[in-house]
Chain A
Amino acid sequence: MIFDRGDKVTIRQEDGNPSAQAVFRIGVILVLAVVIFVIVRQMMIPASFGQYGRYRGNSISENASLNAAYAGSSNDCGECHQQEFMALAQAQHREIDCQSCHGPAAKHVSKPAVTSPIVQETAELCNSCHRQIAGRQDGKIVTVRPLLHSGGVNCTRCHNPHRPQLSFEGDKS
């Protein structure tokens, strides 16, 4: 190491102004660093970033273009199922969208033959609204104690959900 240090001193003395050279060298390195930073930054940042704000603009379309599982409204159902649609329009359940009970039906609307949103088990489904629980007052909705009311059998044995006020009609539609 001692030998090395001595060597350096002789070289610097030959070149003349050592400090100016050092400044020049640092300057070159700095400029290079900035250029590299700008190039890398340009490559890393997505093109649509900053289009609408400090985020990737294309992300909006990606979010907006996701497929909907639920169809727009009951009107889509009514176009084919007119009988049920008309029956429901006069019943106590008229405010309820078909898909509240039948589940997501966007696929069925676009391809009716592929999927069929028929409700099989109704006891649990009806209970989600009509079972008596704390917080669900009788003034808001008719509530029952399922076991006392029916022994837990399928509600459609007595009620038609499309015309619930007409009891003992059975599974007609």
Chain B
Amino acid sequence: MKEETLKVKTSNKAVEEHMKKVVPRRVFLTTACKMLAAGILAPMGSLAAILNSSFAGESGETSDWTRVWAGKEWGFIVDTEKCIGCARCVDACKQENQVPPDKEVFRTWVERYVETTQGVSIDSPNGGLDFEPLAETEEKQFFVPKLCNQCENPPCVQVCPVSATYRTGDGVILVDGKRCVGCRYCIQACPYGARFMHPKTHVADKCTWCYHRIAKGMRPACVTVCPVGARKFGNLRDLKDPVTQIIRKERVRGLKTDMGTKPQVFYLGLDEVVV
């Protein structure tokens, strides 16, 4: 220490003057910490206030959903033998759920499989609304309507970093549009390609089996308009429900069951080439 003080004493006056002007480290650090804390806390407080106000009526939850869900587990059947590829479901879904009709995004769509000796061709122009006639051949040609499988073990829910998507007690995966930050993880995670970024709201969107309709005792819009009864919707907990009866008695299969997602859309007459 002595040496150091000596050094200061022996140095020229200019250096001494400069040292006097230097802010001591302790003073600098305490001031910096205070300013940093104030800088972080002040906007955080206002941010929290804004966030809380955006979740309007947060404390006023009236309906008890556990009571609504009691004894309900929704299930869906797609009968590929009946489907004629008219895409009334695609059209109805877009109108029911405000999905922009002019954009290539769909909550439900219809795929056409055409098997030839060269292999399988799959097309779904504009979600199935604009199928071209193509040549009639002797090989297998059929339609497969697709929609969210409302998996019992949903990968999309697992990957959401902000808990903006979840499975309800009656077995429907919903999106919380107010919490979704639009990171697209869920869109990547879904093995069925059932999710998309909504062009208007800019949050993840998907089929909800028309949750607003089934909550009011109606069937999903696509089931309502299907002219051939290729789509069926029912309660799997009710053993007398026609859908439950079909699942119990007929040969049904889910899509990509090997992925462990436990899809809740059951297909009748599904060919093995369908992916």
A48 in the interface (beta carbon within 8 A): yes
Q: Which single member of A5, A55, A134 contacts B135 (CB below 8 Å)?
A: A134
Given A53-B166, A55-B164, answer yes or no on A60-B174 (Cβ-Cβ < 8 Å).
Answer: yes
Q: Which single member of B58, B114, B135, B166 contacts A47 (CB below 8 Å)?
A: B58
Once the chains bind, are A64 and B228 in contact (CB under 8 Å)?
A: no
Q: Quick check: which of B49-57, B185-193, B244-252 contacts chain A, the rest being far away?
A: B49-57
Q: Quick check: which of B147-155, B217-225, B233-241, B255-263 contacts chain A, the rest being far away?
A: B217-225
A80 in the interface (beta carbon within 8 A): no
Query: What is the CB-to-nearest-CB distance from B192 to chain A, in angstroms, rounded to a whole number?
Result: 20
Once the chains bind, are B4 and A6 in contact (CB under 8 Å)?
A: yes
A114 in the interface (beta carbon within 8 A): no
Chain A interface residue number, banded:
35 or more
Q: Which single member of B4, B51, B212 contacts A66 (CB below 8 Å)?
A: B212
B216 in the interface (beta carbon within 8 A): yes
Cα of A145 to Cα of B87 in the assembled complex, Å: 18
From residue 97 to 138 of chain A, which have CB atoms closer than 8 A to chain B? 97, 99-100, 103-104, 128-129, 131-137
- Count how many chain B residues have C-beta atoms less than 8 Å from C-beta atoms of the other chain: 78
For B136, the chain A residues whose CB sits under 8 A away are: 132, 134
Once the chains bind, are A52 and B66 in contact (CB under 8 Å)?
A: yes
For B167, the chain A residues whose CB sits under 8 A away are: 53
Once the chains bind, are A61 and B61 in contact (CB under 8 Å)?
A: yes
Once the chains bind, are B141 and A134 in contact (CB under 8 Å)?
A: yes
Once the chains bind, are B65 and A57 in contact (CB under 8 Å)?
A: yes
Q: Quick check: which of B78-86, B100-108, B194-202 contacts chain A, the rest being far away?
A: B78-86
Query: What is the CB-to-nearest-CB distance from A123 to chain B, in angstroms, rounded to a whole number?
Result: 14
Once the chains bind, are B88 and A100 in contact (CB under 8 Å)?
A: yes
Q: Which single member of A46, A97, A103 contacts B55 (CB below 8 Å)?
A: A46
Query: What is the CB-to-nearest-CB distance from A28 to chain B, in angstroms, rounded to a whole number?
Result: 12
Once the chains bind, are A4 and B82 in contact (CB under 8 Å)?
A: no
For B137, the chain A residues whose CB sits under 8 A away are: 134
For A58, the chain B residues whose CB sits under 8 A away are: 55, 57-58, 61
Once the chains bind, are B228 and A140 in contact (CB under 8 Å)?
A: yes
For A95, the chain B residues whose CB sits under 8 A away are: 227-229
Once the chains bind, are B58 and A135 in contact (CB under 8 Å)?
A: no
Given A9-B1, A70-B225, A134-B133, answer yes or no on A54-B85 (Cβ-Cβ < 8 Å).
Answer: no
Cα of A43 to Cα of B25 in the assembled complex, Å: 35
For A55, the chain B residues whose CB sits under 8 A away are: 163-166, 176, 179
Once the chains bind, are A135 and B142 in contact (CB under 8 Å)?
A: yes
For B227, the chain A residues whose CB sits under 8 A away are: 93, 95-97, 100, 129
26 example contacts (A-B, Cβ-Cβ < 8 A) are as follows A1-B22, A40-B48, A44-B52, A47-B59, A48-B59, A55-B165, A55-B176, A56-B163, A57-B65, A59-B174, A59-B176, A63-B175, A64-B212, A65-B212, A66-B212, A69-B221, A70-B92, A70-B96, A93-B227, A128-B88, A131-B133, A133-B131, A133-B133, A134-B133, A134-B137, A135-B114
Q: Which 4 A-B pairs have the closest CB atoms?
A: A43-B48, A55-B166, A134-B134, A59-B176
